[in-house]
Amino acid sequence: MLQIYNTLSRTKEPFKPAQAGQVRMYVCGMTVYDFCHLGHARMLVSFDVVQRWLRASGLAVDYVRNITDIDDKIIRRAVETGRRIGEVTEFYIAAMHADEQALGVESPDREPRATQYVGEMLDIIGKLEQKGLAYQADDGDVNYAVRGFPGYGKLSGKTLDDLRAGERVAVGSAKRDPLDFVLWKSAKAEEPADTKWESPYGLGRPGWHIECSAMSKSLLGLPLDIHGGGPDLKFPHHENEIAQTEGAFGGALANIWMHCGPLMVDSDKMSKSLGNFRTIRQTIAQGDPTADEATYRVNLREAEMVRFFIVRNHYRSPQNYTPDNLVDAQNALDRLYQALQNVAADDQGIDWNEPQAQAFKAAMDDDFNSSGAVAALFELASEANRGKSARSAGQMKALASLLGLLQQDPAAYFQSPTRYSAAAIEQGQRAMLEADAIQSLIDARAAAKAARNFAEADRIRAELRDAGIELDDKPGGLTQWRRA
């Protein structure tokens, strides 16, 4: 049986959906004011693997991942650039979708935008006000009265006494308690007109936390089977979601809470606030990483490298980003593709009675342990190489598809240049050979061999090797090449 670590109970639990055979999963998505960074990639890929395995396990999944398209940061970006809110959000939504596609992240079943659910947010705020859990302050903001909800802190493990003003919660003089958080923000005169909605509390816009309470309840009902997100959302965002939803409707918001681990840079979490982030596009783009979607191009070998870098670690573990770690991931992924290039994979699907398939399944059923699943892929690669076994190669490719890996043509994969290999680093600033130039040298080598000028043939092979190109001579005179 599938076991999932529940952040709320702090233990692994057998997964039992509220309705047998069906899973209602809500994951907090992006606030679209900038390009996604590699920390976002970790969240996107981690929950993509989760939904893939749930479906592979025979469950019908309704996967909802929202978009926050109204927020202080979005407003600031619009004002800075002189664009309307909708222009800013549409640009970065398109960029996010392009990044997801490059990383092999499947689209969620539904992708609601916060601005589409303002009415539902106001309904929840009204219910909270009726129950004495919300109040309008003198500055016009509507706040949640945290001390009126006895369960506050159960997800994060924080008590109200632990939460001193000025640490994690900003002090507002109009609040009854400095720990109270905003449900509805009163509009300011200088703010753009397209950031204001009519409400019983005057012109304004929703607070961030109420958005997810409204979208998850409206689309999936209560309780959710799984609620997930990045590590920084546990507190205060998810804690506040619980307070709002359970305060308004009673019962549980979600049965299982899942949080992926952080992506670290020199012991600090990768984040835009710390300025230590690297965007997905800076890592996988061919050419200008800020290009619009009409001209944005992706290096698919490097994109799969990023996915593999994420998947080969357990989703809950902290993961350290360094260029060397990307190189290591690229070299490891190359070894799996080399097995597929050496041995043509059959396409008979997965034999779940086979030992490595059973090991793969046992790992994934143990809280989506993709690290253990990847280990099974390497065992199959070794088996395929040893015995030239098409069946082992086929098993490896079919199992890898459940992780979103190894679906490229091996020859095309290896002919794609990559910055993340030992050969590429050794080349330094040297120009990388283009495919046409490589083929010309291969043809010249074939001509030299035909003329029995083996010294020249060896010289050309060495020249290609120095440029990071490896040759594989096949029967019949065919020569395949790949970038190391």
The radius of gyration of the chain's CA atoms, rounded to the nearest angstrom, is: 26
Give the helix ranges, DSSP H, for 366-421: 370-387, 390-401, 410-415
> Has 237 been labeled as part of a binding site?
yes
At 73-96, the pLDDT tens digits run 999 999 999 999 999 999 999 999
Q: How far apart are the C-alpha atoms of 73 and 296, rounded to whole Å?
A: 25
Domains and CATH numbers, the chain: 20-136+207-264 (3.40.50.620), 322-415 (1.20.120.640), 431-483 (no CATH)
How far is 65 from 25, CA to CA, in rounded Å? Answer: 8
Q: Give residue-wise pLDDT tens across range 439-451.
A: 777 877 877 777 8
57 sits in the region (left: phi over 0; alpha: psi -120 to 50; else beta) called alpha
Say if CB 50 and CB 228 are below 8 A apart.
Answer: yes
pLDDT given for residue 225 in this prediction:
98
Q: Taking phi first (over 0 means left), then psi (-120 to 50 degrees means alpha), and beta for anything else, what does residue 401 get?
A: alpha
Is 40 known to sit in a ligand binding site? Answer: no
Strands 319-320, 469-473: pairing is unpaired
The whole-number pLDDT of residue 431 equals: 54
φ and ψ at residue 97, rounded to 5 degrees: -60, -40
- What are the residues whose beta carbons fall under 8 Å from the beta carbon of 206, sequence distance 6 or more? 70, 114, 118, 121, 183, 184, 185, 197, 214
Q: Which amino acid is at 174?
A: A
- Known binder of ligand: residue 241? yes
Structure tokens, 449: 């061999």
Greatest Cα pair distance in the chain: 92
Name the pTM for this structure.
0.88
Q: Among all chains, which residue has been given the structure tokens 């096949």?
A: 474
H-type helices in 312-389, by residue range? 323-342, 355-365, 370-387
The separation between CA 434 and the C-alpha centre of its own chain, rounded to angstroms, equals: 32
- How far apart are alpha carbons 449 and 334 in whole angstroms? 29
The whole-number pLDDT of residue 32 equals 97
- Reduced to 3 states (helix: H, G, I; strand: E, B; else coil), residue 253 is coil
Distance CA 9, CA 257 (A): 9
What is the separation of C-alpha 411 from the centre of its chain, rounded to a whole number of angstroms?
Answer: 27
Closest listed residue to residue 303, CA positions, set 101, 83, 60: 101
Answer whether the bond into residue 14 is a cis peptide, omega within 30°: no
Low-confidence residues in the chain, pLDDT < 50: 165-169, 429-430
User: Can you tell me which residue has the tokens 């978009």?
Assistant: 67
| pLDDT value, residue 164 | 58
Q: Give the per-residue pLDDT at 427.
A: 61
Q: Which helix (H) or strand (E) holds 60?
A: strand 60-65
